[in-house]
């Protein structure tokens, strides 16, 4: 039996559409063992697909196939804390768990970069799976099946508060809402901000974060799919966040906060209780370890 522990991730961080993501201290823990049939269960009694359609199984099978090894079945036991379809990398966590679990069962034929490449290729974008594997704040570019990536140290003074709604939004639907082409001005708007974001997070120039997390490539098209999403971003900033944005494809919203602002989470929880009962606020640190 092998165990893979995969962190939640928040992709995009506003300006870094499909290229920037951060790992968060919230985990899916997946146990895998070879078996002569498929046996999939969830420790918490949540529904999980119990046949070949299970994403963890599919990704594990892909590793066996690519390594030319036969697979007759797997026992998979899931213990998942990452909420599903909320923009916090739950499907990426399953993809990474399947790949890394199979790789461990086979004696690690894939090195870390091959794992990163395969996970991003399966996902179609690298900004969840790369930080899920490496931990921390990552910039990643997927090109021709290869991920060019860098893990950038995050300045110690910040924490994250995640506003999670009680409704789901599929990544497919959130990607379908985006335009096929964009204006040159919009490309420059995001390019400058994404670069500013990476530099500001590293150096601790936190006063840049509000501008640096601004975006016009995806958020304006997605807010219409997230009831109260724009209100939460606005209110999160009013409460003192350094920046706030849609987490991944949504619907969750992430606020970057000063670590020293210990009461932010209380104010955020009160906001939800009083005005946005379909949302809850949770404080999460950056995961530094990865899967
Ligand atoms: N970058 C991706 C998107 C993340 O925004 O669609 C999906 O989790």
Q: What is the DSSP letter of 80?
A: E
Q: What is the pLDDT of residues 186-218, one digit of tens each?
A: 999 999 999 999 999 999 999 999 999 999 999
Q: What is the pLDDT of residues 32-64, one digit of tens each?
A: 999 999 999 999 988 999 999 999 999 999 999
Q: Which of 22, 83, 88, 175 to mutate to test the pocket of ligand 1 (most atoms within 8 A of CB)?
A: 175
Name residue 141's beta-bridge partners: 148
Cβ of 128 below 6 Å from ligand 1: yes
Would you say 10 and 254 are in contact if contact means Cβ atoms under 8 Å apart? yes
Give me ligand 1 centre to Cα 247, in Å. Answer: 8
SS3 172: helix
The ipTM is: 0.99
Distance CA 87, CA 91 (A): 9
* Mean pLDDT score across all residues of the chain: 97
Task: Give the number of the atom of ligand 1 that is nearest the alpha carbon of residue 218.
Answer: 5
Cβ of 175 below 6 Å from ligand 1: yes
Distance CA 95, CA 91 (A): 6
Axis crossing angle, helix 90-105 with helix 112-123, rounded to the nearest 10: 140
Task: Give the number of the atom of ligand 1 that is nearest the alpha carbon of residue 92.
Answer: 8
Share of the chain above pLDDT 90, in %: 97
Give me ligand 1 centre to Cα 240, in Å. Answer: 26
Q: Cis (ω within 30 of 0) for the bond into 251? A: yes
pTM above 0.95, yes or no: yes
Cβ of 9 below 6 Å from ligand 1: no
Cβ of 249 below 6 Å from ligand 1: yes
- Two structure tokens written together for 30: 């997946």
Give me ligand 1 centre to Cα 154, in Å. Answer: 21
Distance CA 184, CA 131 (A): 29
Q: What is the DSSP letter of 13?
A: T
Task: Give the number of the atom of ligand 1 that is nearest the alpha carbon of residue 178.
Answer: 6
Would you say 115 and 100 are in contact if contact means Cβ atoms under 8 Å apart? yes
- The CB-based long-range contact list for 178-183 (8 Å cut-off, 24+ gap) reads 178/217, 178/218, 178/221, 178/222, 179/221, 182/217
Give me ligand 1 centre to Cα 67, in Å. Answer: 29
Cβ of 171 below 6 Å from ligand 1: yes
pLDDT surpassing 90 at residue 155: no
Strand 39-42 and strand 2-11: the pairing is unpaired
Cβ of 62 below 6 Å from ligand 1: no
Give me ligand 1 centre to Cα 249, in Å. Answer: 5
């Amino acid at each position: 039996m092998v165990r893979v522990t995969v962190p939640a991730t928040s992709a995009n961080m506003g300006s870094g559409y499909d290229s920037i993501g951060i790992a968060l201290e919230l985990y899916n823990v997946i146990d895998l063992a070879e078996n002569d049939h498929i046996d999939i269960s969830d420790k918490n009694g949540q529904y999980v697909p119990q046949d070949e359609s299970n994403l963890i199984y599919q990704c594990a099978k892909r590793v066996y196939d690519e390594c030319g090894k036969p697979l007759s079945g797997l026992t998979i036991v899931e213990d998942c804390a990452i909420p599903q379809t909320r923009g916090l990398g739950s499907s990426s966590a399953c993809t990474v768990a399947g790949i890394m679990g199979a790789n461990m069962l086979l004696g690690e034929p894939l090195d870390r970069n091959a794992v990163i490449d395969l996970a991003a290729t399966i996902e179609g974008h690298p900004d969840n799976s790369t930080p899920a594997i490496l931990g921390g704040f990552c910039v990643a570019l997927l090109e021709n099946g290869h991920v060019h990536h860098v893990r950038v140290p995050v300045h110690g003074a910040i924490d994250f508060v995640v506003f999670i709604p009680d409704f789901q939004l599929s990544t497919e639907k959130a990607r379908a809402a985006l335009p096929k082409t964009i204006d040159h001005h919009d490309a420059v708007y995001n390019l400058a901000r994404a670069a500013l974001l990476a530099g500001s997070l590293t150096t601790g120039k936190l006063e840049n974060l509000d501008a640096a997390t601004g975006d016009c490539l995806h958020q304006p098209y997605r807010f219409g799919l997230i009831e109260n999403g724009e209100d939460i971003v606005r209110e999160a900033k009013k409460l003192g966040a350094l920046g706030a944005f849609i987490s991944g494809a949504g619907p969750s919203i992430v606020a970057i906060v000063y670590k020293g602002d210990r009461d932010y989470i209380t104010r955020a929880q009160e906001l939800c209780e009083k005005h946005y009962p379909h949302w809850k606020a949770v404080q999460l640190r950056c995961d530094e370890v990865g899967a």
